[in-house]
């Protein structure tokens, strides 16, 4: 099986069922399948070669999603381009991944043109929704490919080694590397998604894509397409719009980063909407506060879940199921609300020390994994690939531990440890009690240079709208909960916390405010 074969299987179930809805557009599986084929024909007519990089530069839009599936159909390597990045950053990344074909939306036409000037290997660029952007329209591009044959480029094994995507890493610690996701690793993700996301309920699946489709919301659309599920695409996250869409379309599945999930929970009218259709509210990209888990179960029912993965091992290294979350919220093994679930069946996880030795059960070390979910490595970066694969394991860069029941716990990024007064403190240990405060929307804990302590713990906090809580009160509560050593030495209340283009807390940007005058990032 290739990734596109899962879509074909879903399309065959009911060609009339809606595949994509959004931005005033509606495509059935039959119409969507025909358009995907037309785009693939256009590529081959223009000189596409198997494995070429195909960039999609667009805000959330059904036409962009069709181009992603057309890349799968043609046998290309999808290059996700995040519209929140600068044109120069996107151009640099597309040049690095040797982008030869570009589909862009008119909303980002100026940015796309700037980026195109940086792409020496570009063979063609096409506008999704207009013929007035100085490039051929998608409609004309498809017409030019009429009658062109799409070769059967598969093999008896589903061509597992061919690239599915050249996916950018988060870039919070430097320029993005391109993860060479293979057909084999994505097929493993799809199979695990069918097991854990769809979970045997294939009827009337409706997936709401509200996070950027250049992030996980786009990749997991392949999972729901395998069972003929409908994907409703919203242009961006807005809590009211999300609640309205859940009620209108009878949404069954939604993926959210924690910050969006928290905002949804804190919507003043969240209980006024009918969310009874939900089967899973999947949270990923960062750990979730146990108290936010409990509140989610109270508000939405036993549908809250979390997974752990990364571009190098996409989505499903581990899964904390809705059943486990609901039971833990009710008092059955409540400690599991701090975990990211059990390791999935296709993945082997080990906790290793700096010398590559497995640490005893319950002790902390780097989370490392093996198995078909792991991608081949970084595009044209053999040294980075070798560094991530030391000792014969893929190193996630996350610090955590396994308990005796097989649940995986993440305590921090390996490079995000605060060393204060000679003691190691993990930022999430400090963030957890702050996030548990009802007045707090989100927070980020970092180490800042300190003459006495080496690094002092600082908490940056955003309060819920209308909440009143002083920095001093936050510090006092933390000292009562954590003790003086782990409690923040200082607290600042901000209006907003910086985010990366994919919505993660950007601690690099926060740290820059305090470390700019230092020669190095440790003290």
Q: Which two three-digit tokens encode residue 228?
A: 């003929």
Is a pLDDT exceeding 80 seen at residue 424? no
> Could you tell me if 375 and 166 are in contact, meaning their C-beta atoms sit under 8 angstroms apart?
no
What are the pLDDT digits (tens) for 124-141?
999 999 988 989 999 999
Supply the mean pLDDT for the chain.
93
In our burial notation (b when 16+ CB lie closer than 10 A, e otherwise), range 378-392 reads bbebeeebeebbeee
Give the number of other Cβ atoms within 10 Å of residue 439's Cβ.
14
53-57 vs 99-104, strand pairing mode: parallel
CA 315 to CA 369: how far, in whole Å? 13
Mean pLDDT in residue range 20-40: 97
Q: In the predicted model, what is the mean pLDDT of residues 486-501?
A: 92
Residue pair 29/228 in contact (Cβ under 8 Å)? The answer is yes
In this prediction, residues 348-354 reach a mean pLDDT of 96
Phi, psi of 244 (to 5 degrees): -65, -40
- Taking the C-alpha atoms of 345, 386, 379 and 62 in order, what is their torsion angle to the nearest 10 degrees? 30
Could you read off the pLDDT of 436-450 as tens digits, one per residue?
A: 999 999 999 999 988
**Structural domains of the chain ordered from first start:** 3-149+162-186 (3.40.50.12780), 237-413 (3.40.50.12780), 421-515 (3.30.300.30)
- Quote the pLDDT of residue 173: 42
Tens digits of residue pLDDT in 142-200: 999 999 999 999 999 999 999 999 999 864 444 678 999 999 999 999 999 999 999 98
pLDDT for the residue numbered 421 = 75
Q: Give the lowest-confidence range in 45-49, 237-241, 427-431.
A: 427-431
Residues 23-52 have a mean pLDDT of: 97
262 neighbors 441 (Cβ within 8 angstroms): yes
User: How do residues 297-309 score in pLDDT, each as one tens digit?
Assistant: 999 999 999 999 9
Mean pLDDT of 69-75: 98
- DSSP β-bridge partners for residue 445: 459
DSSP secondary structure, 353-418, as one string: -TTSPBPPTT--EEEEEESTTS---BTT-HHHHHHHTGGGSEEEEEEEEE-TTSBEEEEEEGGGEE
pLDDT for position 521? 60
**Average of per-residue pLDDT across 68-81:** 97
- CA gap 352, 141 in Å, rounded: 51
Q: How many percent of the chain have pLDDT more than 70?
A: 98
């Amino acid at each position: 099986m290739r990734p596109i074969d899962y879509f074909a299987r879903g399309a065959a179930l009911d060609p009339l069922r809606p595949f994509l809805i959004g931005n005033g557009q509606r495509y059935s599986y039959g119409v969507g399948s025909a358009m995907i084929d037309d785009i693939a024909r256009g590529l081959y007519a223009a000189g596409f070669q198997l494995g070429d990089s195909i960039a999609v530069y667009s805000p959330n839009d059904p036409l962009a999603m069709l181009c992603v599936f057309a890349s799968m159909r043609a046998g290309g390597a999808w290059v996700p381009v995040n519209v929140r990045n600068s044109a120069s950053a996107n151009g640099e990344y597309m040049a690095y991944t040797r982008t030869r074909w570009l589909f862009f939306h008119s909303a980002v036409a100026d940015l796309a043109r700037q980026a195109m000037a940086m792409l020496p290997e570009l063979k063609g660029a096409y506008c999704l929704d207009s013929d007035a952007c100085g490039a051929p329209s998608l409609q004309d591009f498809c017409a030019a490919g009429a009658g062109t044959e799409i070769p059967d480029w598969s093999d008896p094994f589903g061509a597992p080694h061919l690239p599915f995507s050249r996916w950018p890493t988060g870039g919070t610690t430097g320029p993005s590397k391109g993860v060479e996701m293979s057909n084999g690793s994505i097929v493993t993700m799809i199979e695990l998604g069918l097991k854990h996301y769809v979970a045997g309920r294939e009827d009337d699946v409706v997936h709401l894509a509200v996070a950027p489709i250049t992030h996980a919301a786009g990749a997991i659309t392949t999972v729901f397409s395998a069972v003929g599920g409908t994907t409703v695409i919203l242009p961006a996250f807005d809590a009211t719009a999300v609640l309205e869409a859940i009620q209108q379309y009878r949404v069954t599945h939604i993926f959210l980063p924690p910050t969006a999930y928290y905002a949804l929970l804190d919507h003043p009218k969240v209980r006024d909407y009918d969310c009874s259709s939900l089967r899973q509210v999947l949270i990923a990209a960062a750990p979730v506060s146990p108290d936010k888990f409990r509140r989610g179960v109270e508000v939405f029912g036993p549908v809250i879940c979390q997974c752990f993965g990364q571009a190098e091992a996409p989505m499903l290294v581990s899964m904390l199921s809705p059943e486990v979350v609901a039971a833990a919220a009710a008092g059955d093994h409540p400690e599991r609300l701090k975990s990211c679930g059990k390791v999935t069946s296709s993945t082997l996880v080990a906790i290793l020390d700096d010398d590559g030795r497995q640490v005893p059960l319950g002790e902390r070390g780097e989370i490392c994994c093996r198995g078909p979910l792991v991608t081949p490595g970084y595009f044209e970066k053999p040294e980075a690939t070798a560094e991530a694969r030391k000792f014969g394991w893929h190193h996630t860069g996350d610090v955590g531990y396994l308990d005796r029941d097989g649940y995986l716990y993440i305590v921090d990024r390996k490079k995000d440890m605060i060393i204060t007064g000679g003691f190691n403190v993990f930022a999430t240990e400090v963030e957890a009690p702050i996030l548990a405060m009802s007045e707090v929307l989100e927070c980020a804990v970092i180490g800042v240079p300190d003459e006495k302590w080496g690094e002092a713990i600082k908490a940056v906090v955003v309060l819920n709208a209308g909440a009143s809580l002083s920095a001093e009160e936050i510090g006092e509560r933390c000292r009562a909960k954590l003790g003086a050593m782990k409690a923040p030495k200082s607290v600042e209340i901000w209006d907003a916390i910086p985010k990366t283009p994919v919505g993660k807390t950007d601690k690099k940007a926060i740290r820059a405010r305090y470390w700019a005058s230092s020669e190095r990032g440790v003290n």
